[in-house]
Structures are given as structure tokens and as C-alpha cells.
Amino acid sequence: MNTASDRTRSPRQAGKAPLSRFCALLVAAFLAFGPTACSMLRGGKQSATAPAGVSVPKGARGTKAYTVRGKTYYPLLSSHSFREEGIASWYGPDFHGKKTANGENYDMYGMTAAHKLLPFGTKVLVTNKENGKSAVVRINDRGPFVGDRVIDLTRTAAERIGMIAKGTAPVVLQTQGTVAGLKDGDLSGGFYVQVGAFANKSNAERLAGKLKKEGSGARVSYAEDIRLYRVQAGPYPGLNRAEQASDSLDAAYPGNFVVAE
């Protein structure tokens, strides 16, 4: 039984999206501009304050939160030695080809999965407690947000652990290794915060100058495909630092978003 209809899709559609994003999503945002790219990468600048009864998991300092169905989640900064037990479900045709929370297209024939907290890119060994069958999947989506379910698998992964017929199964999750590029939950590299895009170069340079006077580094980057001059604050050495800068720029430049070098 396909249990896809029971799950809420990515937090980009239901609240603030977590931002331990990887290069595919960041590059996509880099090629875009304005509110559209902001929505894709950040899920909108919404409050990340946890409601009563929700606590920040240990080690989740500085993590971007997201809210689904009134509950706020704080994705982990590290997947090291993570272990969890609960119910696995799977999602298939209704979501095949649609965007996952990290910007990839969902492939129900691949070996990926949705998890509420683990960093994108984490590899997880999923073992069906009823039959001992296992499969390794890569986290690229958020969910499931139903009951005691802890992971949503692709159809192929569900087949490999023998749970297609029932639709759900009790499982044990164990992370495998670490995520490439992550150090204590941060993604290193060159990042900028895009605050505006102009058809007129002089306007772009004027805003860049204003940013510099305010104490931020800044550059003007011309996007030939869309014929716009993009104004970007930075650079920042890691994604977390860029996200902090993005938050501090919210009041003056609402709708800003992080892009990769």
C-alpha cells in the first residue's frame, strides 16, 4: 500500500525550510533572483521560534528551524552515531518527479528517503525489524510528519526491506559515515547573500556601495542569461555564517537569499 497520501510534503510548502542545503539547490538559487529563488531556497522568512513543548535537540546550535502542523523541528548539525527506531513508510507515484526539500527531483525508483532531522546527504542503514532485511538510503527530503513514523522511503527501498505490501514496518535507523563537505553541520565554501537584482548597472553599484558603507563586503555580479546585475553581500566562508548574515539583513533587505560561489 502506498502511504504517500498520509504524509505532508517538504517543509518548504508548510513552513520554514531547513537550510543545511547542498550545492545542487544552492546553484539553482544562484541562477535565479528575487522572491522566487528566496522561496525555493529558504521557504520564506518565517518565525523559527519553537512553540511550547518543543526543544532544540542537543548539538543543533545555529540550525535553521522549520514548522509543520504547528510543530517546529531543528535539523541536526551532525549525523555522527545517530540511531533511531520507529515506523517506516514509503511514498511513490503521487510525488514522483516533484521537488524534494533539498531541491532534487523525487525518484521513487532511487534509493533516497525523507527524515525530519538528519542533514541532507546522510546515508542511513534501514533495517526491517520483522524480517531483518536492510537497505542503505540517502536523505534528500523532509518528513514523514504522521504519527510515530521516522522515515519515508522510495518504492525501491521499501521493496528491498520487504514492506511494500503492508505499507509500513518497524525499523532501526543507523547512519553510515559522515556527509562530505560538512564540518559540525556547516557546509564550507564561498557563499553570498543576494539582496537585489537590477537591469541598470548604476543602481546595482549604488546598492553595493551602500552595503560596503554598512560594513558588509559586496559585489555586483552580472547574469547574462537573465540580463540583470545582482547585488550580493559577502563572501562568507560557510553556509551557517552566510545564513546568519542573511538574517541580519532581513530588516533592510527582505527577501534576500543565500547563493553559492
Task: Compute the distance between CA of residue 258 and CA of residue 26 in angstroms, rounded to an integer.
Answer: 7
| Domain identity same for 168 and 187 | no
Residue 48 lies in a domain: no
* Same structural domain, 87 and 15: yes
Residues 199/230, Cβ–Cβ less than 8 Å: no
Distance in angstroms between the alpha carbons of the first and the last residue of the chain: 43
Q: In this structure, what CATH number is given to the domain that contains residue 202?
A: 3.30.70.1070
Residue 41, pLDDT score: 31
| Overall residue count recorded for the chain in this entry | 261
Torsion of CA 208, 212, 217, 222, to 10 degrees: 10
- Residue 141 has a pLDDT of 92
Query: Which residue in the block uniquely carries the three cell numbers 537497505?
Result: 135
pLDDT of residue 218: 94
Could you tell me the pTM of the whole model? 0.53
196: in domain: yes
Quote the DSSP letter at residue 252: T
How many angstroms separate the Cα of 91 from the Cα of each of 8, 157, 187?
11, 10, 29
The answer to whether residue 138 is domain-embedded is yes
3-state secondary structure of 188: strand
pLDDT along the chain (261 residues), means of 10: 43 34 36 30 30 32 67 78 92 91 91 92 94 95 92 97 96 83 65 92 96 92 90 87 86 85 73
Q: Give yes or no: residues 133 and 195 share one domain.
A: no
DSSP 217: -
Do 132 and 11 share a domain, yes or no? Answer: yes
How far from the centroid of its chain's Cα atoms is residue 3's Cα?
23
Q: Which of 118, 143, 175 is the last residue of a domain?
A: 175
Q: Where are the alpha helices (DSSP H) in the chain?
A: 23-30, 34-42, 155-160, 201-213, 239-248
- The CA-CA-CA angle for residues 35, 38, 44, to 5°, reads 95
Q: Which residues pair with 135 in a beta bridge?
A: 126
pLDDT for 238 equals 79
Q: What is the CATH number of the domain that holds 110?
A: 2.40.40.10
Pair (110, 224) in one structural domain: no
The verdict on 164 and 218 lying in the same domain is: no
Domain that holds residue 225: 183-260
Computed from CA positions of residues 197, 236, 245, 78, in that sequence, does the dihedral angle turn out positive or negative? positive
As for how many domains the chain has, the answer is 2
